[in-house]
Amino acid sequence: MSVAKVTISIESGLLRKVDHLVKARVFSNRSQAIQSAVEEKVARLDRNRLARECAKLDKAHEQALADEGLAAEVAEWLEY
């Protein structure tokens, strides 16, 4: 994976907390700490986006589609 160097501005109190985590060996360096935080935030936003999109679905319509698909396949099911 390629890595790009960026410059950011960060509130000094937050930077002290990041430095404390680095000193405590939670992260090996500032870059790793900030990259981890950004990855976590982006993943959370992606999950929230999926939840928002799912909320837009019409549950009755989705159930009808599922029932229709199952009804078409019932004849193919093996007897137990």
- For the chain, the average pLDDT equals 88
Residue 1 lies in a domain: no
Lowest mean pLDDT among 10-14, 47-51, 56-60: 47-51
* Residue 5 within a domain: no
Residue type at 9 in one-letter notation = S
3-class secondary structure, 80: coil
CA torsion angle for 46, 52, 54, 56 (degrees, to 10)? -150
pLDDT at 19: 98
Instruction: Determine, yes or no, domain membership for 80.
Output: no
* pLDDT value of position 62: 82
What is the predicted pLDDT for the residue at 21?
A: 97
- Residue 77, both tokens: 């099911």
12-23 and 30-55 helices, crossing angle to 10°: 110
17-54 tens-digit pLDDT: 999 999 999 999 999 999 999 999 999 888 888 878 88
Number of domains within the chain: 1
Domain that holds residue 19: 12-73
